Amino acid sequence: MLLIFNLNKAIKPPYCLKVYLSDIPKKGCMHLEDRELLDLFGDSSTKELAFTAIIKKFQERLYWHIRKMVISHDDTNDMLQNVFIKVWKGLENFREDSQLYTWLYRIATNECLTFLEQRKKKATMSLEDDENGLSNTIKADKNFDANKLEWKLQLAIQKLPERQRLVFNLRYYDAMPYEKMSKILETSEGALKASYHHAAKKIEQYILND
Amino acid sequence: MMEMENSRTILYKNLRAEEQRRDVPLPYVVPEGYFDSVSADIINKIPKEKVLLTDIKIPRFDVPEDYFNDLSDNILSSINKQQNNIEEELASIAPVFNTISKQLLYQVPEGYFENLQVDNKKSVEVAKETKVVSITKRIIWLRVAVAASIIGLLVLGASISSNKNSENYASYKNVDLKNSVKKVSDEDLEKYLNNDYIASNNDMIILDDGDAPDVKQKIQAVPDEDLSQYLQETRTSKNRKKGI
């Protein structure tokens, strides 16, 4: 089945996007621009297909963003599901003055912070240390090797406060510019730079002394 | 020169003859003698134009040596500049990172991303917006106090029950609360709080009014709001674990 969507009615010189609906599940629409995906999502006949395409396009980036914060795959999977459910519910009202990617990251980040906050509360109730909980999850990994620097780095990152950990992960692993990070975390660039600086210092101290 | 002039004259005469043979003559008029002199006029102009061109100073645009050889490298270098900035920034803060690979060692189940599906019809309860509620110190302390009092009562109750024959109640004062509490699982706490506690492997025994007459009073002293909040939180986290 061939559908032709006129995406930019009367605003710009009209152009047509040809989408073979039967091809989307096989090939995905990862090549489509966010604007095109949003237009497809706005059409009830292609809403679910567009949503599937959005999941496929962003799932890995969001998965790793969450996984680095909560460590466990099962928790990450639960949260990733919740993130996309919220996306499904909120996408129609998505304000296009921010990038889709930024918006998704912001939802995932809030989800992480909420999850970690609840975890901390629970740990307080049981008089345990939540920080140790995450470290224990790392140590329980079947590939964990205490002598490997990469694992030591993971343990050191878990010692950081949540927001500092977020900043460090986004900068160190995702090479995200401060400007973009500032939009996701709604924090000034100066504060983010300082946060990253402190985080890197703390990690270095942990690795060298522990 | 004479030969050329003759040829030109012959050509002109032929053209005129051809023109005259046409049924409809061309409407345009050529000045008399134009063709006789046009070639000479053109030739006379050429040397003058040459002089004019040489008079104009055309600026010479220089290209730096090896510019085109280095162009691709320079462009790639600009692209990598941002990445390098990040690495330089980190190297200046904490050089130890130079010795660590960025590779993440966590594993993802095989085929996870290929098979990932989101059930967008999942219950509204799970999907509803979770808010990051800022907790004031007062509330944290209140919660800790509530939890501590409940846990204390449980441990005290357990101790009373297990030693009720000895009647040595003075020893209860020396109970190591922290260690005893650690032995109590979250599940047992939750069951107790839900009033459906059944003795499990832990050293806890069902409390009744006879064993600890002041327990009910102490629990009653805890505000209902705090208790229900605690129960709600433990229930939500439990449900989340079960995937409800």
User: What residue ranges define each of the domains in chain A, with the CATH number in brackets?
Assistant: 1-128 (1.10.1740.10), 145-210 (1.10.10.10)
Report the residue from B94, B120, B126 with minimal CB separation from A201: B94
pLDDT mean over B25-43: 76
Which has the higher per-residue pLDDT, A98 or A119?
A: A119
pLDDT, mean of residues A194-198: 95
For residue A9, give the DSSP letter: T
- Which of B105, B106, B111, B122 is closest to A78 using CA atoms? B122
Beta carbons of B108 and A148 less than 8 Å apart: no
Nearest to A197 among B93, B113, B189 (CB): B93
The pTM for the full model equals 0.52
| Cβ of residue A72 closer than 8 Å to a chain B Cβ | no
Q: Say which residue, A4 or B176, is predicted with more confidence.
A: B176
Chain A residue with the nearest C-alpha to that of B144: A125
| CA-based nearest distance A189→chain B, Å | 14
Mean pLDDT, all residues of chain A: 83
- Are B94 and A86 in contact (CB < 8 Å)? no
For residue A94, pLDDT over 60 is answered with yes
How far away is chain B from the Cα of A153, in angstroms, using its nearest Cα? 8
CB contact under 8 A, B243 and A172: no
Verify whether the Cβ–Cβ distance B122 to A85 is below 8 Å: yes
Residues with Cβ within 8 Å of B219's Cβ and at least 6 positions away in sequence, in order, are: B150, B153, B227
CA distances (Å), origin B119, targets A80, A86, B148: 11, 11, 40
For residue A166, pLDDT over 90 is answered with yes
- The confidence band for B124, taking pLDDT boundaries of 50, 70 and 90, is very low
* Residue A121 sits at the chain B interface (C-beta within 8 Å): yes
Q: How many whole angstroms separate alpha carbon A37 and alpha carbon A55?
A: 11
Task: For chain A, give the number of residues.
Answer: 210
Reading the block at residue A204, the tokens are 């270095």
Minimum mean pLDDT among A153-162, A186-195, B46-55: which range? B46-55
The rounded distance, in Å, linking the Cα atoms of B215 and B232 is 22
Indicate the pLDDT class of residue A165, thresholds 50, 70 and 90. Answer: very high
Using the Cβ of A82 and the Cβ atoms of chain B, whether some distance falls under 8 Å is answered with: yes
Q: Which one of A191-200, B26-35, B108-117 scores highest in mean pLDDT?
A: A191-200
Q: Find the mean pLDDT for residues B15-29.
A: 67
Phi and psi (nearest 5°) for A20? -85, 105
pLDDT given for residue B44 in this prediction: 72
> To which H or E segment does residue A2 belong?
strand A2-6
**What ipTM describes this predicted complex?**
0.72
Q: Is A193 a residue whose pLDDT tops 80? A: yes
**Least confident interval from A183-192, B30-39, B170-179:** B170-179
Q: Do A59 and B116 touch (CB under 8 A)?
A: yes
Q: Which 3 state secondary structure label does DSSP give B49?
A: helix
Tens of pLDDT, residues B80-119 = 776 677 888 888 888 888 888 888 888 899 899 888 888 7
Record the tokens describing residue B77, joined without a space: 């270098």
Q: Which of A73, A122, A197 shows the shortest C-beta gap to B237?
A: A122
Mean pLDDT of B145-172: 61
> What φ, ψ does residue B203 adopt, rounded to 5°?
-80, 35
Residues of A in contact with B108 (CB under 8 A): 63, 73
- Give A117's contacts in chain B (Cβ within 8 Å): 132
* B126 contacts A71? CB cut-off 8 A: no
* Nearest chain A alpha carbon to B123: A85
Q: Report pLDDT for B203.
A: 34
Quick one: CA torsion of A117, A121, A122, A124, rounded to 10 degrees?
130
Find, in chain A, the residue whose alpha carbon is nearest to that of B126: A82
What integer pLDDT is reported at residue B114 of this predicted model? 87
Nearest chain A residue to B87, by CA: A172
Q: Which of A109-123, A181-195, B45-59 has the lowest mean pLDDT?
A: B45-59
Decide if A132 touches B, using CB distance below 8 A: no
Q: Classify burial at B79, counting beta carbons within 10 Å of its beta carbon; exposed 0-12, middle 13-18, buried 19 or more.
A: exposed
